[in-house]
Amino acid sequence: MSAPPFIADVEVPEAQPVARFRILYADTDKMGIAYHAAFLRYMELGRVELLRSLGVPYTDLERFGLALPLSDLAVRYRVPARYDDEISIYVGLVLVTRVRVHFQYRFVIEPGGRPDVDERLILLVAETRHACVRVADAKPERMPPPFFERLEQARDRLRERR
Amino acid sequence: MSAPPFIADVEVPEAQPVARFRILYADTDKMGIAYHAAFLRYMELGRVELLRSLGVPYTDLERFGLALPLSDLAVRYRVPARYDDEISIYVGLVLVTRVRVHFQYRFVIEPGGRPDVDERLILLVAETRHACVRVADAKPERMPPPFFERLEQARDRLRERR
Amino acid sequence: MSAPPFIADVEVPEAQPVARFRILYADTDKMGIAYHAAFLRYMELGRVELLRSLGVPYTDLERFGLALPLSDLAVRYRVPARYDDEISIYVGLVLVTRVRVHFQYRFVIEPGGRPDVDERLILLVAETRHACVRVADAKPERMPPPFFERLEQARDRLRERR
Amino acid sequence: MSAPPFIADVEVPEAQPVARFRILYADTDKMGIAYHAAFLRYMELGRVELLRSLGVPYTDLERFGLALPLSDLAVRYRVPARYDDEISIYVGLVLVTRVRVHFQYRFVIEPGGRPDVDERLILLVAETRHACVRVADAKPERMPPPFFERLEQARDRLRERR
């Protein structure tokens, strides 16, 4: 019996990773591999660096009193990560509306990122969905036009790169 | 535009929570609410206490050289949790085969679990899917009969309780 | 060459633990033991439950716009904790002034808290030092009299119990 | 009443940081600053990158079946870190024997690492003490000569740089 995947695959540009990191002891568990929850902070690292590279840093949104808390999260773990693996994070924007943003992620070991690994290894794919809210009262709020527009353009540019 | 939920709702018995905890500063972020990743460790707490209460503690599985790493994860965040909220974890078994187990979770603030909250508040629902593997080489392996049978019976008992 | 301990021992009442917990996979690392940083959140659990049991819950302090961030931390790790160990947290108040509170901690496996362990095992001792500050601007602030007085009485009661 | 510091200051070469990172939401708490425990994983990042830069990567030690668990930890928090701060980690070796290694850390915001910060800001200083043990049974074990010698030379080189 094969369980249907929560997410089949992700649409993420492969041009270049938004961030790289190495698995720490802090990330591992007694199975000797990275604990599944460890990747969530690296997803945050990925999306914050994507936004920064797109010219719409998250701190800009904060200046408007806004935030992008998660409403949904899905992860498909494929290959376990090991201590000291060098991992590349690729992030894509798959939905941008006035009040919502959806990110997709692919975590990859590039050839050489683990000793003896000479082919690209996809560790996991994921999606996070975010609602734009006012920090003060957690009510939904439309993103400010410049932020939203730059995000939309970025989504279009990312699409073209695919 | 409304995004389809990754998971609509979960099948979790409401008889009694498997565990309770309070949100720590360690769990919060600068938005003043629990960081989304904080719940993953509490999901582990929930499923490990469910297994213990069912008479099939996870350490039994380890004695066979086996483990249940996650293959898939989905979370739907509904209501943010705040510092010092007292939260009840309800966990259900939705699939048990020789080589797979799927858990579902409901995190709830019961009346009184937050000052001024006098009705039940569902914070989030989630599902984790696990494959049974040998720790030594991460290869899939069938669960040992006593463990599997007790798990199947538990799933059936949990079903009846619904 | 023997390194001098940062803290030799702690003054913690042994009457009864303020909290109990079990080591999760989330807490372990690839050495198969609890990662050293995992205990910091359990120290927070310990001091927040001590304050609650003393009738001066941390949320009371927050209502005055105050907080108790750490200024210093010292931990002496003695015996590693393993997965599923049941651990008791003992916490003492060793200094209480208008603007500072110092807590000490002893983490213990009681007989039976780990299979085959039939004698008390002290895992680690620790001290955290906290300054009372206003959340708004992080400036030092005196604790409000009722909070301070109850804390002082508690420190004296804890001393008598030793 | 002024509490004596657990550690007064640290001996850390200032030539160049071993690693840089930015504070994530994952690191912050509801006070709006980095949670004290968040720095422990960055200390690990610091020492692992120091060892790598010295030509004695931690994975080499693992190949001998050895590990360097913490025996002692001390941190002095001076200035709170905020979301998105860019932080430089400086690490020094202050003791190297056959069976022990002591690291010291200085976490710094360089001018420009936080908007409006135009002078160097020392956030915290810390020390971790490690014993060399066999992973198999957690017994103390002497470091293998090449590893130990390169570490000793590194400590001497680091000393000269001061």
d(C-alpha A68, C-alpha A51), whole Å: 12
In the predicted structure, residue C107 carries a pLDDT above the cut 60: yes
Give me A59's structure tokens. Answer: 């701190």
Could you tell me if D73 lies within 8 Å of chain B, comparing CB atoms? Answer: no
Our measurement of the distance from residue B121's CA atom to the centroid of its chain's CA atoms, rounded to an integer in Å, reads 17
In the predicted structure, residue A3 carries a pLDDT above the cut 60: no
pLDDT, residue D161, reads: 64
d(C-alpha C35, C-alpha D67), whole Å: 13
In the predicted structure, residue B4 carries a pLDDT above the cut 80: no
In the predicted structure, residue A63 carries a pLDDT above the cut 80: yes
Q: Looking at chain A, which runs of residues are DSSP E strands?
A: 19-22, 66-67, 70-77, 86-96, 100-109, 121-131, 133-134
Could you tell me if B128 lies within 8 Å of chain D, comparing CB atoms? Answer: no
pLDDT, residue C58, reads: 96
**Could you tell me which of B141, B157, B115, B149 has the C-alpha nearest to residue B13?**
B157
Query: Around C12, how many Cα atoms within 13 Å sit in the side-chain half-sphere?
Result: 27
Give me B2's structure tokens. Answer: 């409304």
- Cβ within 8 Å, pair A3-B102: yes
- Cβ within 8 Å, pair D45-A24: yes
Residues of D in contact with B30 (CB under 8 A): 25, 28-33, 83
- Residue A51, class by beta-carbon neighbours within 10 Å (0-12 exposed, 13-18 middle, 19+ buried)? buried
Residues D106/D10, Cβ–Cβ less than 8 Å: yes
Could you tell me if B53 lies within 8 Å of chain C, comparing CB atoms? Answer: no
Our measurement of the distance from residue A139's CA atom to the centroid of its chain's CA atoms, rounded to an integer in Å, reads 24
Give me D33's structure tokens. Answer: 């600053």
Query: Scanning every residue of chain A, which has its alpha carbon at the shortest distance from the alpha carbon of C33?
Result: A30
d(C-alpha D89, C-alpha B154), whole Å: 50
Angle at D31 between CA D26 and CA D35, to 5 degrees: 45
d(C-alpha B94, C-alpha B116), whole Å: 34
pLDDT confidence of A157, banded at 50, 70, 90?
confident
pLDDT, residue C67, reads: 96
Could you tell me if B96 lies within 8 Å of chain A, comparing CB atoms? Answer: no
Could you tell me if D72 lies within 8 Å of chain C, comparing CB atoms? Answer: yes
CA distances from D159 to A33, B134, D91 (A): 36, 47, 12
Which amino acid is located at B95 in the chain?
L
pLDDT confidence of A7, banded at 50, 70, 90?
low
Give me A55's structure tokens. Answer: 């010219």
pLDDT confidence of B98, banded at 50, 70, 90?
very high
**Could you tell me which of C6, C156, C15, C40 has the C-alpha nearest to residue C90?**
C15
Q: State whether residue B136 is helix, strand or coil.
A: coil
pLDDT, residue A5, reads: 44
Q: Residues of C108-132 as b/e, b for ≥16 C-beta within 10 angstroms?
A: bbeeebbeeeeeebebbbbbbbbbb
Give how far B52 is from chain A: nearest CA, Å: 19
Query: pTM for the complete prediction?
Result: 0.94
- C129 or C10, which is more confident: C129
* Neighbours, chain C (3 or more CB pairs < 8 A): A, B, D
Could you tell me if C58 lies within 8 Å of chain A, comparing CB atoms? Answer: no
Q: State whether residue B80 is helix, strand or coil.
A: coil
Give how far C5 is from chain D: nearest CA, Å: 7
Positions of chain D with pLDDT lower than 50, given as ranges: 1-5
Our measurement of the distance from residue C155's CA atom to the centroid of its chain's CA atoms, rounded to an integer in Å, reads 14
d(C-alpha C78, C-alpha C36), whole Å: 11
CA distances from A11 to A8, A153, A160, B57, D5 (A): 10, 16, 11, 39, 52
Query: What DSSP letter does each residue of C111-160 carry, written as one string?
Result: TTSSTT--S-EEEEEEEEEEE-EETTT--B-PPPHHHHHHHHHHHHHHHH
Lowest mean pLDDT among A1-5, A144-148, B130-134, D43-47: A1-5
Residues B98/B142, Cβ–Cβ less than 8 Å: yes
Query: Scanning every residue of chain B, which has its alpha carbon at the shortest distance from the alpha carbon of C58?
Result: B84
Which amino acid is located at B59 in the chain?
T
pLDDT, residue C4, reads: 39
Residues A38/A85, Cβ–Cβ less than 8 Å: no
d(C-alpha B91, C-alpha B51), whole Å: 10
Q: Which of residues 25-44 of D touch B (CB under 8 A)?
A: 25-26, 28-33, 35, 37
d(C-alpha B61, C-alpha B153), whole Å: 17
- By Cβ distance, the residue of A25, A26, A30 closest to C25 is A30
pLDDT digits (tens, 9 = 90+) for C58-106: 999 999 999 999 999 999 999 999 999 999 999 999 999 999 999 999 9
pLDDT, residue A1, reads: 30
- By Cβ distance, the residue of A41, A80, A95 closest to B37 is A41
Query: What DSSP letter does each residue of B15-50 carry, written as one string?
Result: S--SEEEE--GGGB-TTSBB-TTHHHHHHHHHHHHH
Which amino acid is located at C19 in the chain?
A
Considering chain D, what percentage of its residues have pLDDT values greater than 90? 78
Query: Around C6, how many Cα atoms within 13 Å sit in the side-chain half-sphere?
Result: 28
- Residue A98, class by beta-carbon neighbours within 10 Å (0-12 exposed, 13-18 middle, 19+ buried)? middle
pLDDT, residue C5, reads: 43
- Cβ within 8 Å, pair D6-C73: yes
What is the DSSP-derived secondary structure letter of residue C12? -
d(C-alpha D113, C-alpha D111), whole Å: 6
Query: Around A123, how many Cα atoms within 13 Å sit in the side-chain half-sphere?
Result: 27
CA distances from C137 to A62, C76, C134, C144, D108 (A): 18, 33, 6, 17, 21
- Residue D27 phi, psi dihedral angles, 5° rounding: -90, -20
Query: Scanning every residue of chain D, which has its alpha carbon at the shortest distance from the alpha carbon of B38?
Result: D26
- Average pLDDT over chain C reads 91
